[in-house]
Amino acid sequence: MGAGELRIMGEWGSVAMHLRLCRVYRGGVEIVVSAKGPGIVTCGDPETAFLEAVSPWLSEHGSVPSLLAGMIGSPLGWVECPYADCPADAQSLRSQLTQFSVAGTPVAIAPGLRCRNIFGLPDMMRGEELALFGWLASARPADGEWRISCLTGRHPKWVLSCGMQVHSFFTSMQGELHQLLVEYSLLGKAMASGDGSATAAGRAQFDRGVATMCDQPGLSLGHALFSARSLLVAGELPANLASSYLSGLVVGADVRDALTALSGHPGLDLPVTLIGTPSECDLAAAVFQKLGRSVAQANGHDSSLRGFVMLDPFQTELAA
């Protein structure tokens, strides 16, 4: 394998900055070293935060082209990057990168995507599009073949694509809703501080929450949420496992309602693909299993790296 080309690739969101110094080859990507930093909400000056994070790499290697994605391209970020409109493929995103230079280092920021979703509402994503197009490159759907995927995480994105084009998507507040309920609501006040979510007992309570939503299609999440308190008060839910049960309610409702909204779409003829961390995908997959629906999983980290390479505007003739 040759020397490859050095790149700085990173997701920079509202909460955190994750940068990677990579060697890019024709056949793949090798992560050399990683760095973390503050998200755009707390970093103050993005240019200063970026240079502080990458200065050791620049000192050793000189100028390294950098490709960033996420909220760093929002009005709150470093440079505002207009969204690319759906339907869109990777090439249309690549053509709309915002490029500039800082301290002699070329920087490009991905534009993100926006659409009018199946409910007739505006929707958008910044950062997740890298994993989405990376997965499409791996899945290689045929022209005209509809696929449905879900980008898991704090704000899951349910995506409709046809061939290599993203047509629309809709966003859930699932992860953030769970956090807000635990930290600030009446439900959270009764929960014990200890977290049993990683234990078998915690998983059992998660599955219990999933079953509550899936076994009763007419039960809305708004009505189900209070059971995280009523079961605890009745002595039927341990305080240290109540958060796991609540998570099952929220994730269960999200998957159940998304599949209901997508009912009849040709993309459901094939398994829905969950794109994210193994732990996030496993939890969502449990809901599919409960509903008797087939599902596939794709590693979000690997998909994201593949997406960065697809959008890289600095490529020359990569080493084999």
**What does the pLDDT read at residue 13?**
92
Statement: residue 76 has pLDDT above 60: yes
Residue 190 φ/ψ, nearest 5 degrees: -90, -5
At residue 195 the predicted structure's pLDDT band, cuts being 50, 70 and 90, is low
pLDDT, tens digit (0-9, with 9 covering 90-100), for 210-261:
999 999 999 999 999 999 999 999 999 999 999 999 999 999 999 999 999 9
pLDDT value for 190: 80
Grade residue 1 by pLDDT with cuts at 50, 70 and 90: very low
- Mean residue pLDDT across the chain: 93
pLDDT of residue 320: 41
The stretch 88-104 carries a mean pLDDT of 95
Are residues 106 and 63 in contact, defined by beta-carbon separation less than 8 angstroms?
yes
pLDDT at 196 over 80: no
Residue 74 confidence class, pLDDT cut points 50, 70, 90: very high
Angle between the N-to-C axes of helices 128-139 and 300-311, in degrees from 0 to 180, rounded to the nearest 10? 90
Mean pLDDT of 290-316: 93
pLDDT above 80: residue 198: no
Q: Which of 185, 155, 158 is nearest to 169 (CA)?
A: 158
Say what percent of the chain tops pLDDT 70. Answer: 96
Decide which of 5 and 28 is more confident: 5
Are the C-beta atoms of 149 and 132 separated by less than 8 Å? Answer: yes
Both tokens of 149, joined, read 């995927």
Proportion of the chain above pLDDT 90, given as a percent: 89
Helix H or strand E segment including 32: strand 28-38
Task: Say how far apart CA 252 and CA 236 lie, in whole Å.
Answer: 20
pLDDT at 309 over 50: yes
Q: Is the pLDDT of residue 317 over 80?
A: no
End-to-end Cα, the chain, rounded Å: 6
